[in-house]
Amino acid sequence: MAPSGLKAVVGEKILNGVIKSVKKDGEWKVLIVDHMSMRILSSCCKMSDILAEGVTIVEDINKRREPISSLEAIYLISPVEKSVRALINDFKDAAFTYKAAHIFFTDTCPDGLFAEIGRSRVSKVVKTLKEINVAFLPYEAQVFSLDDPNSLYSFYSSKPNKDKDKIMENLAEQIATLCDTLKEYPAIRYRKGPEDNARLADEVYQRLTAHKADNPSMGEGADKARSQLLIVDRGFDPISPILHELTFQAMAYDLLDIKQDIYSYQTTGIGNSNDREVLLDEDDELWVQLRHMHIADVTKKVTELLRTFCESKRMCTDNANLKDLSQMLKKMPQYQKELSMYSTHLHLAEACMKKFKGSVDKLCEVEQDLAMGANAEGEPLKDAMKSIVPVLLNNEIGAYEKIRIILLYIFHKKKGIGEENLAKLIQHANIQADSNIITNLQNLGCNIIAGGRNAEQTLPERRERTESTYQLSRWAPIIKDVMENAIEDKLDRKQWPFISDPAPINTTQTAVSSARFGHWHKNKSPTEYRSGPRLIIFVIGGVSQSEMRSAYEVTRATDGKWEVLIGSSHILTPTSFLNDLKSLDQVPNPDS
């Protein structure tokens, strides 16, 4: 099934706009990428797609490459100094590395670098030079990432960071290219509180207006005037990234070691056992179906699907005679792929449950009570300390788990806790080495020490939720409330101010007739042209898996009228979040 949403839009833009546009029959080309563009490319295109369009090899610009002077090169790079230098180097000597160059920058090239390119010998062999305005990673159909895992440090470190302005400009530019790619010109709002929100919102607005000047069709459409871009900081909801979630994707990334979306496990096939690596992304239809489901449902569903599959194809090997075997063989090749998908997900679910039954199930109960402030029956929590002390004293539970419990306890006590209490808790839990994680959270604007910094910060009021949930999954991320309010236009203007005067939100019809019939002559591909309004949310400092899930849930609840996109500089797992927090007060590593 072809991916839809962001991946499809970006994939189509790159395949059509970059690779197909310079395709010539009978001629192959070399595609050269740098780190950022490689990530963008590999998240939405496959080798066979680009091979079909005449690219025969993909190279990294920063590695030594041997000259292939018979082929032309497509450079898909970000306009940073390192990449541009490497580009110029390719054509510096007498023998050019490639026959010609087609250069595509992911966003605007600064004038200095542009002049350098103009001065160098590259300019003689340049046949194309375009800025494609795609500087973000389409992580999922409704999730984008800006691929900057250090952003938590850049924004919230204790030491003043002089590069912060530059980083903010880059971020703003990347967000602007997102809006450009989606052809949206949203109204920008930010959460009133930390001044970074307002500054970033301002920068984005400037760049967005610049893009609109080049591209006046942005934001055109009957409903597009209602689109909004919300800028939120991580400190707004510090609970969601540290809570143990029990939906498939969040649980897998939290409990298992999944790097770069690749899940490796061992299969015990017929006879041999081998290591298998599977990429968990949207090409795997089963993953798309299962990723937001609760783990209990997942195991049930996969076994049910597998059973119907086997029955319908009569694959039970128990009483198979020759005829059945030959039948199976005839249909085997297609079934191989489906069977392997089922097997992967069963393994994944099993591994999650194993880890869960180990120690996490006890933690989940305590965590949910603390996060909701009430136990499963709805009674408010009377003595939180009593429930967390046995966890803290338990030596089998890891340090990070204990820290998560302590943090949830602190957030439960809305005004923070006293310093001595905190010291006592840390001592009980025996986590002195990691205790700075807790104090560093204050950099995000959270209220940790009673009467200390951020004394006025409180977590916002929550909406009433009436849908039935599992006992251990009662928590809904705060951002979900914000999304629903924004869609219903109930978001408080004082807490969420607009950068510019918002377009009047009216429901009168415009002169053009209905969206269905009025645009028949425009050949719009279904992936690109969405006629409904979009709500784009950018979280400074990282977005958690549960928040990503909320975006899909809210979109579904509106029956497709609104599309909610959420993203950040990187995707958080609880472990990575705590690791980042730990390093907030340290001097940056000079190599990174």
Partner 1 sequence: MKRRQRLISVEIRTQQFIQRSLLSHLYQCVLKEERQPDRGNLLDIGNLDLFSRPTMRDRLSNLQEVSNSHVEQMEYAESTVSDTFSNIDLEMELPHEAVVFEDNSPALEDVFSQSQDIHREIQLIRVEIKRLREQNSRMMGVTTMSTIKRDSNAIGADIKARAEGVLARLRDMDGEAHKLEEEYGSNCAVTRIARTQYACLSNGFRDTMFDYNEAEMSHRENCKAQIQRQMEIVGREVTGEEVEEMIEKGQWNIFNDNIMAEGKTARSALSQIEKRHQELVDLETRINGIHEIFLDIALLVEEQGPMLNTIQTNVQKTDEGIQEALVKLNRAKRHDKNNPFKKMFCSCFPCVD
Name residue, tokens 């020759």. 322
Print the binding letters for residues 77-116 with partner 1: x by CB under 8 A, - otherwise.
------------x--xx-x-x------x---xx----xx-
Q: How far is the CB of 462 from partner 1 (least distance, A)?
A: 40
Residues 329-368 that bind partner 1 (CB under 8 A): 329-334, 336-337, 340
Q: How far is the CB of 435 from partner 1 (least distance, A)?
A: 37
Please compute, for residue 473, the number of CA atoms within 13 A of its CA located in the half-sphere on the CB side: 17
Please provide the DSSP assignment of 290-359 as one string.
HTTSBHHHHHHHHHHHHHHHHHHHT---TT--HHHHHHHHHHHHHHHHHHHHHHHHHHHHHHHHHHIIII
Of 161 and 343, which CB lies nearer to partner 1 in the complex structure? 343
Residue 250, CA distances (Å) to 440, 469, 575 in order: 24, 16, 12
Q: How far is the CB of 81 from partner 1 (least distance, A)?
A: 14
Stretch that binds partner 1, among 51-59, 164-172, 247-255, 494-502 (CB under 8 A): 51-59
Print the binding letters for residues 375-414 with partner 1: x by CB under 8 A, - otherwise.
----------------------------------------
587 binds partner 1 (CB under 8 A): no
Among 195, 260, 319, 591, binds partner 1 (CB under 8 A): 260
Axis crossing angle, helix 295-313 with helix 322-355, rounded to the nearest 10: 180
Tokens of 145: 């990432």
Q: What sign does the CA torsion over 177, 181, 182, 184 have?
A: positive
Q: How far is the CB of 260 from partner 1 (least distance, A)?
A: 8
Contact assessment for residue 6 and residue 144, using Cβ atoms and an 8 Å cutoff? yes
DSSP code of residue 236:
G
Residues 509-528 that bind partner 1 (CB under 8 A): 521-525, 528
Q: How far is the CB of 93 from partner 1 (least distance, A)?
A: 6
Q: Strand, coil or helix: what is 380?
A: strand
Q: How far is the CB of 350 from partner 1 (least distance, A)?
A: 19
Tokens of 428: 């009980």
Identify any residues that bridge with 68 across adjacent strands, giving them in sequence order: 98
Among 4, 42, 436, 579, binds partner 1 (CB under 8 A): 42
Residue 203, CA distances (Å) to 113, 362, 494 in order: 22, 45, 20
Residues 264-303 that bind partner 1 (CB under 8 A): 269-271, 274, 276-279, 283
Residues 205-234 that bind partner 1 (CB under 8 A): 214-215, 217
Residue 336, CA distances (Å) to 315, 318, 329 in order: 12, 19, 10
Print the binding letters for residues 52-71 with partner 1: x by CB under 8 A, - otherwise.
x---xxxxx--xxxxxxxxx
Which amino acid is present at 504? P
Of 342 and 470, which CB lies nearer to partner 1 in the complex structure? 342
Among 326, 458, 471, 510, binds partner 1 (CB under 8 A): 326
Print the binding letters for residues 536-555 with partner 1: x by CB under 8 A, - otherwise.
--------------------
